Amino acid sequence: MKFATKVIHAGIEPDISSGAIMTPIFQTSTYVQQSVGVHKGFEYARTQNPTRNVLQNQLAALENGNFGISFASGLAATDAIIKLLKSGDHIISCNDLYGGTYRIFNKIYGKLGIQSTFVDMNTIQNISDAITPNTKLIWVETPTNPMLNLVDIEAVVKIAKQHNILVCVDNTFASPYLQTPLDLGADIVIHSATKYLGGHSDVIHGAIVVKDKAIADELYFIQNASGAVPGPQDCFLILRGIKTLHLRVQRACENAQKIADFLVAHPKVEKVNYPGLSTHPSHELAKKQMRGFGAMVSFSLKADTLAAADKVLSSTKLFSLAESLGGVESLIGHPATMTHASIPLEERKKTGVVDSLIRLSIGVEDADDLIADLEQALNA
């Protein structure tokens, strides 16, 4: 089954009780049992919900996995993965990643004895050099947030397998339409489903997909025991969003390429980060590893000041100044004070998250209108 068919049909059947083509929202906390231990497969809604089950099956199909596990948010999903580890274990992660992931690694689990090392994964040798006898997880974000660096998943997997280390890939920026890390050997794929999977800026959700049953069973246990589960309404919204995933991401990618080309030529722009540019250091890797270059663009200004960035950020009319990404509408953001504010200044600067860095989430509007909006904001 090809992707455009999967998003409509994979894991989804008409409701057996009514024939409804859309999966119903099973808004219930518990289920009636015929007698003690005799039921229809559902006992309590924290553990299982029919709407959530359908979504989890579809998520698994989209990522070419066997098991999907849904959570109340992307960070709840991150939390569950770290709970696969124990005190004394060690994580290696990329040094250019979402600030919320950095925060949970350092501020939450660092206190509990799980240490993290952040390295530049553009150089694969850095991963090998960081491995210790206690390293149990390599956490890859590709493309990275917000610098749009790429990490060679197959190369990371090769190193990890030599040391019996799990590999988790945050696939939020690419979406399964553009990249399927399990096919490249990763053990775990995670999404902030709030973003492209939902696609309409109206739901918070997290998702994990794996192939291995033992890992899945442990994650299902954590999901139930810790309780960070999504409600059925949230699951319904993600199911609805997935149906147009391929259409939305394709259009947004086309827009992003045009906008990146425009920014490269603008005299007030210092640097543009977008894998679709031939000048991007990982352009060839993007062509090999992905099926498109994505819809996220970041750029820095020649006037490298917060004031200059603020002038652009506050001058757009179509790009809305807001957190998040992956919706049908275009957003503009300032990583240094928004998504990455929890990362210390010196660490941010090392990865290129300077005061003038601006991040764009490109939507599905007309590209000419978006370019005109950026032009007037830059000229302001």
Partnered with residue 273 across adjacent β-strands are 298
pLDDT tens for each residue of 229-243: 999 999 999 999 999
Partnered with residue 169 across adjacent β-strands are 140, 189
The pLDDT value given to residue 38: 84
More confident residue, 99 or 240: 240
C-alpha distances in Å from residue 259, one per residue of 70, 248, 266, 298, 311: 34, 16, 11, 11, 19
pLDDT tens for each residue of 249-267: 999 999 999 999 999 999 9
46 noted as active-site residue: yes
211 noted as active-site residue: no
Q: Which of the residues 195, 211, 251, 348 is marked catalytic? A: 195
Which has the closest alpha carbon to 55: 64, 65, 68, 66? 68
Span 204-232, average pLDDT: 98
Q: Which of the residues 15, 46, 220, 243 is marked catalytic? A: 46
Span 138-145, average pLDDT: 97
List the domains of the chain with CATH numbers: 3-242 (3.40.640.10), 246-379 (3.90.1150.10)
98 noted as active-site residue: yes
On average, the pLDDT of the chain sits at 96
170 noted as active-site residue: yes
Q: CA 215, CA 116: separation in Å to the nearest integer?
A: 21
Q: Which of the residues 79, 89, 152, 170 is marked catalytic? A: 170
SS3 assignment, position 297: strand
pTM, to two decimals? 0.96
Which has the closest alpha carbon to 340: 330, 331, 329, 351? 351
pLDDT band at 343 (very low <50, low <70, confident <90, very high): confident
Question: What percentage of the chain exceeds 70 in pLDDT?
Answer: 100
pLDDT tens for each residue of 276-319: 999 999 999 999 999 999 999 999 999 989 999 999 999 999 99
